[in-house]
Amino acid sequence: MKKQTFRFSNSSTDFYFDASFKQLKEIVSKEHSIIITDENIFELHAAKFKGWKTIVLKAGEEYKVQATVDAIILQLIELEADRKTTLIGVGGGVVTDITGYVASIYMRGVAFGFVPTTLLAMVDASIGGKNGIDVGVYKNMVGNIRQPSFLLYDVSLLKTLPDAEWSNGFAEVIKHACIKDAAMFKLLQQHTLASLQRSKKVLAPLIERNAKIKIKVVQNDEFEKGERKLLNFGHTLGHALENQYQLYHGQAVAIGMTYAAGISKQLLKFKQTDAVVKTLEQYGLPTYASFDKPKVFEVLKMDKKRERTGINYILLERIGKGVIKSIPLTELEDIINQF
């Protein structure tokens, strides 16, 4: 099993790309580990969990809350987890966020690793050390930054992933291409959702490439002072939409990226909006959508990236080159109203 180690400011993480779930026991001992997963994954991949101590959570974002953390901690005590125990989050971003958080606070911190099982977790959520939970309507309001010791990638886990979750993950893949990797954007244009689902030979290296884009951005700016903000491309408007409408995260971000491309056209003479839109559609994502602009703008104004009168917006100079720009709120409102 090939291991690639990446260094972050206070620790390092071993990445096992193109591995198999079976090999988990070569990384950690079954005896000193506890897996945390959700009910869907546990049922769909039951055989894999044989012989592993496992805590099974209810599936869904609504369970990424303190009550679940409390329940996990009680089970850890029951299972006699101690400082030598490693917690392993096997799941999508909900499971990995919560596992990383519990591992950071249980006995003032124990080791943890992840086996991401959604495309979104493989390319985004499980990387970068942001762990946390939601509080009421406030997403990721409580948490910390602490890196996992390892990540094991088994692409075959995606065989059971529903189509909507694939699209969700591709929103972040397209985001990475837009801000950092023009060649990957071309590759995405040449494929479709269906062709990539069928071809492990293309998919596995594509996932690794995306993971490495995120790893590099995080290495350069672990605590989000600058470059890491680029990962918010499509997310400023996306979060505001997600807050107001029942949308998947990936759908909201896709609409956000469409508008961000349009704003880039106005402010930076970005010329490739149509290519962005077409690629999003190719991967089953929405683009231009009508929404209650004044209402969404109210939420957008409260965004964390706001600074006094302007808001830090991620725009594109060209595909493959994202930039951070402070836009006065009134100007932003005018531009969005023109769509």
Cα(206)–Cα(62) distance, integer angstroms = 30
Instruction: Tell whether residue 234 is a contact of ligand NAD (CB under 6 A).
Output: no
Q: Does the annotation mark 214 as catalytic?
A: yes
Instruction: Tell whether residue 41 is a contact of ligand NAD (CB under 6 A).
Output: yes
Q: Does the annotation mark 242 as catalytic?
A: no
Q: Which one among 1, 44, 194, 302 touches ligand NAD, defined by CB under 6 A?
A: 44
Instruction: Tell whether residue 40 is a contact of ligand NAD (CB under 6 A).
Output: yes
Q: Does the annotation mark 45 as catalytic?
A: no
Catalytic residue among 165, 172, 208, 242: 172
Instruction: Tell whether residue 95 is a contact of ligand NAD (CB under 6 A).
Output: yes
Cα(71)–Cα(69) distance, integer angstroms = 5
* Number of residues this chain uses to bind ligand NAD (CB under 6 A): 30
Q: How far is CA 94 from CA 62, 75, 136, 148, 222, in A?
A: 9, 18, 15, 15, 21
Nearest Cα to Cα of residue 127 among 254, 283, 4, 276: 4
Burial 36-63 (b: 16+ CB within 10 A, else e): bbbebbbeebeebbeebbbbbbebeeeb
Instruction: Tell whether residue 144 is a contact of ligand NAD (CB under 6 A).
Output: no
Cα(245)–Cα(236) distance, integer angstroms = 15
Scanning the structure block, which residue is given the tokens 């950690």?
A: 28
Query: For ligand NAD, which residue has the nearest CB?
Result: 93
Q: Which one among 81, 97, 104, 155 touches ligand NAD, defined by CB under 6 A?
A: 97
Q: Give the range of 5-13, 19-27, 38-46, 318-326 binding ligand NAD by CB under 6 A.
A: 38-46
Cα(294)–Cα(233) distance, integer angstroms = 21
Instruction: Tell whether residue 168 is a contact of ligand NAD (CB under 6 A).
Output: yes
Q: Does the annotation mark 228 as catalytic?
A: yes
Cα(210)–Cα(222) distance, integer angstroms = 17
At 85 the three-state DSSP class reads: coil
For the CA atoms of the chain, what is the radius of gyration?
Answer: 20
Instruction: Tell whether residue 94 is a contact of ligand NAD (CB under 6 A).
Output: yes
**144 versus 192: smaller Cβ distance to ligand NAD:** 144
Q: At what angle do helices 293-301 and 235-244 cross, to 10 degrees?
A: 120
Give the nearest distance from C-beta 152 to ligand NAD in angstroms. 14
Nearest Cα to Cα of residue 243 among 121, 168, 138, 333: 138
Instruction: Tell whether residue 29 is a contact of ligand NAD (CB under 6 A).
Output: no
Question: Could you report how far apart the first and last alpha carbons of the chain are, in Å?
Answer: 50
Instruction: Tell whether residue 89 is a contact of ligand NAD (CB under 6 A).
Output: no
Nearest Cα to Cα of residue 208 among 173, 158, 171: 173
Instruction: Tell whether residue 64 is a contact of ligand NAD (CB under 6 A).
Output: yes
Q: Which one among 24, 76, 85, 130 touches ligand NAD, defined by CB under 6 A?
A: 130
Instruction: Tell whether residue 204 is a contact of ligand NAD (CB under 6 A).
Output: no
Instruction: Tell whether residue 117 is a contact of ligand NAD (CB under 6 A).
Output: yes
Give the nearest distance from C-beta 121 to ligand NAD in angstroms. 4
Instruction: Tell whether residue 120 is a contact of ligand NAD (CB under 6 A).
Output: yes
Instruction: Tell whether residue 93 is a contact of ligand NAD (CB under 6 A).
Output: yes
Tokens matching residue 287:
């683009």
Residues labelled as active-site residues: 108, 130, 172, 214, 224, 228, 232, 235, 239, 249
Residues that bind ligand NAD (CB under 6 A): 38, 40-41, 44, 59-61, 64, 91-95, 97, 117-118, 120-121, 124-125, 128, 130, 139-140, 157-158, 160-161, 165, 168
